[in-house]
Amino acid sequence: MLFYFKFMVARAAMMPQKIKKRVKEGKIVEERKNQIWAFALTGLLILISLMYYKANVFYMYSIVYIWFGFAYGMMLQYGRFCFASASRDLFAAGVPRMAVGIMVALVFFSLIQATLKATDMSTFKPAPFGIHTMISGLIFGVGMVIAGGCASGSLYKIGEGNMTSFLAAFFGLSIGQAIFVDVKWFNFLIPQKWIDSAMAKGLPSEKVTSSFDYYLAGYVWDQPSIQLSKTKFISEALPGASKYFVGDALLNAIIPAIILLIVIYAVWNRKGFIKKRAKQKGGQTGFGDELAGIWNMITASKRTTIMGVIIGITAGLHIFVIKGMQLKFGITNFGQLLTQMGFTSEVSIRGTVFDPGYWYITTQEAQLGAWILQKMGWDMMDNVFFGVNNGIPGLLRNPALWLSIGIIFGAMVMAKLSNEFKFKMPKGELIAWGLIGGLLMGIGSRPSLGCNIGAFFIRAAGGDPSGWLYGIGMVGGAFIGVKFFNWWSERKMAKEMEAF
């Protein structure tokens, strides 16, 4: 008791000194400024939400996307959650932190997705399955390593003030992607049977013109979509809701995630851990030590693992809320509400706009690029991607785009609160890496109709094996990207060390 009293007296005497020192160093002023910024940014989003609500109750839809984006942004920044880092840091530095975080998120997300499907509250749709998914993932994987962040990672890094990520997201994912789906540059590569198949779909001929149109309507749409719970074998063997938990969650997400965790442990983590353990125990180690090693790997970066759990749950909740909004308004796509509000020129010929109903990144960024190009006089609705499927909503009427903006805001608020925000303009080689990487990510997210989130995370957790095809491609691409950067940095290090 006496010791505690003495400790408290000593601590009280120390505090003012500490505070004085921090004030002198300008840290308190900087922290206060950052806090004011964080409150101002959050206040701005609240104000925007209120204005939307006042303008039309239909914009509740956008408000939901804004705040889920905001939550993702905060969590991504706090957990340093980037899919690029998952495979890249394994290959480049032997660090499994992010790969573990993603597997944890996947497990939790898959269970919530299964619950939502069992209660008919899911918006999940499987994607066409084929080798195109893996090739697309490979291109995306190289791009994300070169750009320094995946599609969602680039957005949260913009929130940290990283303008290299802005180059990747704006010029690559937005403008680059929009141009990619509209040009005829690759028509000479398109097989005649794709052209015939596309033209046989009954689409207006003026909407089927670009190389991507023939690929999408003539090849991708002809591929089968697979969702394990809907396959003949599983739906017959497991009637009722169990097919979602066993087929989609357990078989397609949880078991592969556990296998991957074991492989990562065995290849990158085991040697160091068992060596330490043997030293501590002074001899032999057993199976219990192996389990302790896996648990140690999972909990090594608590902030990433905890965020993995919360991101998984939030992504599920996002689907639930969007489905609830759709039921409330009696719609299946936000384009129906835009049409009711009179914005008919912004929706596709099917009356739809891009409205994924869950966490998604790249298509709304392509829409932003298309909107800008359209303002510059480029007709962006004369293709299947925008004209038939996704539309190009006005800048302030695009709910999915608000998800991306929300991520930037959320990450910025979190970075400000933890004094990690730093405005960094790219210079020299980083400009090239941002542009090249962003462009590769843009191109790599189109053929698969999604990126690391839409094509991998959502699908793998939803019972669609094509998510894993994309994941394999993405990891392969990351390996190539790391090989390239290893070679590049070795050259630079050798130059620096000439002076030693």
Partner 1 sequence: MAMKFEKTGEGTYMLDVCGYVCPHPQIYCKKSLEKMGEGDVVEVILDNPSSVETISQMCDQVGHDILERKTEGGKTYLKIKKG
Give contact residues for partner 1 (rule: CB under 8 A).
Answer: 25, 27, 30, 77, 80, 82, 84-85, 88-89, 92-95, 97, 145, 148-149, 157, 160-162, 164-165, 269, 272, 300-301, 303-304, 415, 419-422, 424, 427-428, 430, 482, 485-486, 489-490, 492-493, 496-497, 499-500
In the complex with partner 1, the residue whose CB is nearer, 26 or 394, is 26
Is residue 213 within 8 Å of 384, Cβ to Cβ? yes
Least Å from the CB of residue 433 to partner 1: 8
Pick from 441, 373, 446: nearest CA to 149: 441
In the complex with partner 1, the residue whose CB is nearer, 229 or 304, is 304
In the complex with partner 1, the residue whose CB is nearer, 395 or 432, is 432
Helices and strands per DSSP (H, E), number in the chain: 23, 0
Least Å from the CB of residue 156 to partner 1: 9
- Indicate the residue type of 334: F
Those residues whose C-beta lies under 8 Å from the C-beta of residue 23, and which sit 6 or more positions away, are 29
> 259-270 b/e with 16+ CB inside 10 Å = b?
ebbeebbeebbb
The helix-helix angle for 287-299 and 97-118 (nearest 10°) equals 90
C-alpha to C-alpha distance for 165 and 170, rounded to whole angstroms: 8
424, β-bridge pairs: 162
Least Å from the CB of residue 222 to partner 1: 38
Least Å from the CB of residue 144 to partner 1: 10
* DSSP designation for 228: G
Least Å from the CB of residue 155 to partner 1: 14
Least Å from the CB of residue 249 to partner 1: 29
C-alpha to C-alpha distance for 413 and 406, rounded to whole angstroms: 10
Is residue 111 within 8 Å of 250, Cβ to Cβ? no
In the complex with partner 1, the residue whose CB is nearer, 34 or 227, is 34
What size, in residues, is the chain? 500
In the complex with partner 1, the residue whose CB is nearer, 102 or 135, is 102
**Residue with token string 């695009």:** 398
**Residue with token string 């790391």:** 482
Is residue 113 within 8 Å of 124, Cβ to Cβ? yes
Those residues whose C-beta lies under 8 Å from the C-beta of residue 328, and which sit 6 or more positions away, are none
Least Å from the CB of residue 161 to partner 1: 8
Is residue 465 within 8 Å of 129, Cβ to Cβ? yes
In the complex with partner 1, the residue whose CB is nearer, 319 or 453, is 453
Least Å from the CB of residue 233 to partner 1: 42
* DSSP designation for 424: B
In the complex with partner 1, the residue whose CB is nearer, 209 or 296, is 296
In the complex with partner 1, the residue whose CB is nearer, 273 or 358, is 273
Least Å from the CB of residue 25 to partner 1: 8
In the complex with partner 1, the residue whose CB is nearer, 344 or 489, is 489
In the complex with partner 1, the residue whose CB is nearer, 85 or 177, is 85
Least Å from the CB of residue 472 to partner 1: 20
Is residue 125 within 8 Å of 458, Cβ to Cβ? no
- Dmax of the chain from CA atoms? 89
In the complex with partner 1, the residue whose CB is nearer, 1 or 494, is 494
Is residue 420 within 8 Å of 79, Cβ to Cβ? no
Least Å from the CB of residue 482 to partner 1: 7
Q: Which two tokens stand for residue 374?
A: 């359209």
Those residues whose C-beta lies under 8 Å from the C-beta of residue 203, and which sit 6 or more positions away, are 217, 384, 388
- Indicate the residue type of 147: A
Q: Which two tokens stand for residue 263?
A: 């492989």
Is residue 361 within 8 Å of 189, Cβ to Cβ? no
- Residue 128: helix, strand or coil by DSSP? strand
In the complex with partner 1, the residue whose CB is nearer, 232 or 495, is 495
Least Å from the CB of residue 74 to partner 1: 14
